[in-house]
Chains A and B, each alone.
Chain A
Amino acid sequence: MKCSEFLQELTNYLDGVLDARTKAELEDHLAWCHNCYVVCDTTKKTIEIYRDSQLYELPDDLRTRLRTAIMSKCKQKKAEQSS
């Protein structure tokens, strides 16, 4: 397996959706190709860092304000429809 072929399968490999044979070929490549090992490992870390970062969490006060605004408009809409 060439490095370019490895890269094409990287997403499927990280998502765990490869058949056993392709997975074995990829892991064989990883065992001797240090660059691909690093790319694979750091791509996995990239995903984990974003996933676990709590970037763009909705603060409680804003959450309450938004929900109050949404629900008041929904109630208004409902009242308009039933009148």
Chain B
Amino acid sequence: MGTIQPKVSEPVSDELALVQAAKAGNVGAFEDLVRRYDRNVFRIAQHITQNREDAEDVVQDAFLKAYGNLAQFQGQSKFYTWLVRIVVNEALMKLRRRRPERMVSLDEDVKTEDDSVPREVADWAPNPEQLYTQSELHDILSRTIQGLPPSFRTVFVLRDVEGLSTEETADALGLSIPAVKSRLLRARLQLRERLSRFFQKRKNGGDRIGGDHNQ
């Protein structure tokens, strides 16, 4: 069984030049950076907030904050990692405002009961995503990831959807590498468990009356 192939990221060679130009007051250079990363920023924001309007606000607030703080960017990390840190903070702030009754923190190591013990071990259909239309699939994926604690969703989206390395994710979130790995493992296992309900092989072909199409 092969490993996961990482997403190919865009070349960053000219990125530092854009950042320097933006720092020197070239607004057009900053616009190029916005164009380069706005899709990623929106995706991360919506994964964390799980709300479209909040995600739109986060995109604007995060880029404005980045613009206002460009002087603070020293170039020790990649510009994108620095930007992601701002985006995650803005998104978590939105979430806290929306759910003041429950403190949202990346530091809390949420322990849900037996979250690392797989219970569902039925095999999946060969092309499980083709069992549904695209909008049905999006609905399933969105509802499934919504059920994860925010600290797990955040690590999952940075590592597995955006393709950041473990080190970059730890850097962006201010977490240790073991903490990132532990949350990632549990996020992956919990998502798998929940998706199994939708994607496991259907028992059809008349082995019992009515088949098993009622899931």
User: Interface of A with B (CB < 8 Å)?
Assistant: 7-8, 10-16, 27, 30, 34-35, 37-53, 55-58, 62-63, 66-67, 69-71, 73-75, 77-78
Contact = CB atoms under 8 A, between A and B. Distances in A.
B26 to A, nearest CB: 10
Given A10-B185, A35-B118, A45-B124, A56 B42 contact: yes
Interface stretch (B32-40, B96-104, B206-214): B32-40
Contact of B191 (A30, A34, A41, A50): A50
A65 B192 CA distance: 36
Interface SS of A by simple majority:
helix
27 contacts: A12-B181, A14-B3, A30-B1, A35-B118, A37-B1, A38-B123, A39-B121, A42-B195, A45-B199, A47-B160, A47-B188, A50-B156, A51-B163, A53-B137, A53-B138, A56-B55, A58-B39, A63-B38, A67-B38, A70-B64, A71-B30, A71-B31, A71-B34, A73-B60, A74-B27, A74-B67, A78-B27
Contact of A57 (B4, B7, B39): B39
A70 B34 contact: yes
B27 A49 contact: no
Contacts, number: 135
B35 A58 contact: no
B4 A14 contact: yes
